[in-house]
Structure 1
């Protein structure tokens, strides 16, 4: 077969797929495990490439995951069309690698288009992402082909698939935009966006549109998918569970992005401590902001939840989401990651090393300083012997002694940052591919005004 070498493709096992089994399993049966791993890794690279050129397509963890799921589904669709004997005529059918939709495209594409429509991203920007993804996939296949040269027929099929996908995607976009603009949910989302961006809103009219009392304390929660999620659990069920855990009297829930839900849990009395669930179903992540009062409290808590999500997304998925009160110092100190990196290196010196032993020393010293230099309290919190605490603190102080300035306050702040070292690896959104006439969509504009993204 002309394209039989596609079945020899393989990729790293370290990159986890983000599509559900209903999409992945048919592709595995047709292509094999190796090619699917290649698709998963390539789709992740495609996502990064698109965002580097059209950054508004993937601001934040939830939109990034939505775009990655779409790229993964489309690349699977393309390879299935190439590998199947009849694939050249079914490249856009949506039947080869997942559940069918009324539009004829994979359901992941419909999810992404709904996200783009809600965020006000123009159709031409969406189609530009398709073209960028096609060009990237073409280069990746060329590099993987025997002799690094693609058969002419494969190139023709790829172009045919892209043309079909672009046309069908445009139909989906127009249909979804019409449905969205006429929906009650659209009015609710526009009002919520206005509140979050700090615009003035009439409280009485806002309560009527949102069907949610504003004269109370609000705790914002952001709930999003990360990779294949437990399809047996819906966002509504999780919202009810989180509301009960927070001790709330009411709930406001809107669709923030295709892969995320924005929630506000209303409380008549400010909760002293939120009873956060110990864990969430597989594939779901959550972050909460601080309880705040009134209309401006909705904004404050949501922006806090955005910062908490920035911290949460760097932690392993199997760990529960931290309380906002426990991470607010890290949220403040890592808002500018470059400045935070400088601060940590200049304050901690050798103690900022990335090895496990240095991490143990930092945790011990942080607990020791936070407890008022109590060996007993530190030993109980870390479940180690007092002699172990003494030894670790001494070693940490020796490493700090190499620094020119050892201010206890600065050391404590730097140790708080290093509780979440992966946050320091984050980099600002790359806007290098934006043209002079590009304007961010309303959702991105909102977060730019709030100072959450560059």
Structure 2
């Protein structure tokens, strides 16, 4: 059977591979660069399809990236098996094990996990069929693909059961169960919560969510310690959140003023902070604010500073529905909404001008340019905009366009603040005090 066409597969250079370097290196050894690029694109398509049909898989930016890594690794592994036509080690890749652990932690049932696997397999089958000579897959390949997914389903089920047994018996699950309950809005006794969490709820809290773009996410403890030191807080609570993301709360005796965060994070890391809030209800309130800031942070380059909810709360509200926000921007700004450097410069000048009370002098000082330059840019911006847009509408549209990538609905799924399947988690009796 001639499968040389598999090594001729190719795809776009972007996005880059996101699964473990060892998986990518092994795939390049068996397949070459072109099929790896094809697999990255296929992994993205699989991820979006799975989330469309099993949405709990993609709740927030960190789980989305975790599922994308697993999908990409599954495609690469499957292509290696097909191209080798011989005994290539096959099983659940490390990125797939990470998804299994996350699903157990979030209470996603095994049947939903396996449904996601089979949905992804269907996408891979269709993409391979469309790429095959004459648009048809030989019977042998079809049979091999189904054998692969059956084998992986069995391995994933075994990994899921083993991880669930470990998780349910752990004290870590008790803390996580309480955190989930607080975030879901359930009422709890503060003294009992302090005993379980080792953290006093009767204070002001600033929530943090941090995650790494790279698999593994090493350095989380050091990152949280650095953010605590920068913030001026006197205590913190830290748990491992969804998909290996870090959820933390920094405690303050009184409501802090502006919290100063580091301007640069370790390579590959992103972080978002919620608003200062008091008590058990404040643990929930600040975390939900951090979740919304995280949606914006996911569209920004990794390694930048902390995305603080207080600085993006207006945009976060306006971007709750990315598709409608995009329509609003297009209807209001017209050609000024173009994805071009010059249009971006004009938008920022106009946004600054309106926020400065339409003062050319103050705008020029803030931007560090001449007053005539500001006037010229404002005139150009007005020429590009749709006629009939009011000043408030323009300011709203410009605020949205501070984060243009957030308008891409598939870039980062919206954060979840509902109970959903994650509240199905339980722990073994006797573990909670």
Normalising by structure 2, what TM-score?
0.90
Partner residue, 1:107:
94
Instruction: Please state how far the C-alpha of 1:344 moved relative to its aligned partner.
Output: 3.5
The yes-or-no answer on 1:64 pairing with 2:64 is yes
Q: Superposition pairs for residues 20-31 of structure 1, below 5 Å?
A: 20-31=20-31
Unmatched 5+ stretches in structure 2:
414-418, 426-433
From the superposition, tell whether residues 240 and 159 of structure 1 become closer, same or farther in structure 2 (CA, over 3 Å). Answer: same
Deviation for aligned residue 1:85 = 4.4
SS at match of 1:133: helix
Deviation (angstroms), 1:295: 1.1
Report the count of equivalent residues.
420
Secondary structure of the structure 1 residue equivalent to 2:241: strand
Partner of 2:430: none
The reply on whether 1:414 has 2:413 as its aligned counterpart is no
Write the mapping of 1:67-86 to structure 2, written as runs, cut at 5 A: 67-86=67-86
Corresponding residue of 2:90: 91
Supply the distance in 2 between the matched residues of 1:123 and 1:91 (Cα, whole angstroms): 21
Question: Residues of 2 paired with 1:4 and 1:245: CA distance?
Answer: 56
Query: Cα gap change, 1:35/1:344 in structure 2, threshold over 3 Å: closer, same or farther?
Result: closer
Equivalent residue number for residue 170 of structure 1? 157
Alpha-carbon distance, 1:78 to partner: 1.2
Q: Would the alpha carbon gap of residues 367 and 44 (structure 1) be closer, same or farther in structure 2, given more than 3 Å must change?
A: same
Pick one of 224, 233, 238 that aligns with 1:239. 224
Describe the shift of the 1:203–1:43 C-alpha distance in structure 2 as closer, same or farther (beyond 3 A).
same
**In the alignment, does 2:409 pair up with 1:426?**
yes
1:269 and 2:254 matched:
yes
1:304 aligns with 2:289: yes
Shift of 1:152: 2.2
Q: CA deviation at 1:23?
A: 1.9
Residues 408-453 of structure 1 deviation map (CA, whole Å, 9 limit, x = unaligned): 34433332222122323327999xxxxxxxx9413699xxxxxxxx
Distance in structure 2 (CA, Å) of the matches to 1:115 and 1:232:
14
Corresponding residue for 1:142? 129
Q: 2:429 is matched with which residue?
A: none
For residue 286 of structure 1, give the secondary structure of its aligned residue in structure 2: strand
Distance 1:87 1:136, change over 3 A: farther
Paired position in structure 2 for 1:441: 421
Give the deviation of 1:169 after TM superposition: 0.7
TM (norm. structure 1) is: 0.86
Is 1:35 equivalent to 2:35 in the alignment?
A: yes
Map of 1:451 onto structure 2: none
Distance in structure 1 (CA, Å) of the matches to 2:122 and 2:335: 44
Q: In 1, distance between residues paired with 2:152 and 2:381? A: 58
CA drift of 1:232 comes to 8.1
Shift of residue 84, structure 1, vs aligned partner: 2.3
1:50-449 paired onto structure 2 within 5 Å: 50-87=50-87, 90-92=89-91, 105-226=92-213, 228=214, 233-317=218-302, 319-399=304-384, 403-406=387-390, 408-426=391-409, 440-442=420-422
CA offsets per residue over residues 384-420 of structure 1, 9 Å max, x none?
Answer: 22210121123334555x53352x3443333222212
Could you say what secondary structure the match of 2:211 adopts? strand
> For residues 43 and 343 of structure 1, what CA distance do their matches in structure 2 show?
31
Residue in structure 1 matched with residue 45 of structure 2 by the alignment: 45
Q: RMSD in angstroms over aligned alpha carbons?
A: 2.5
Q: Displacement, 1:342? A: 4.6
Q: Deviations over 1:320-376 (max 9, x none)?
A: 343322211111222233443454445445544444333222211211222233333
CA separation of 1:350/1:264 partners in 2, compared to 1, >3 Å: closer, same or farther?
Answer: same
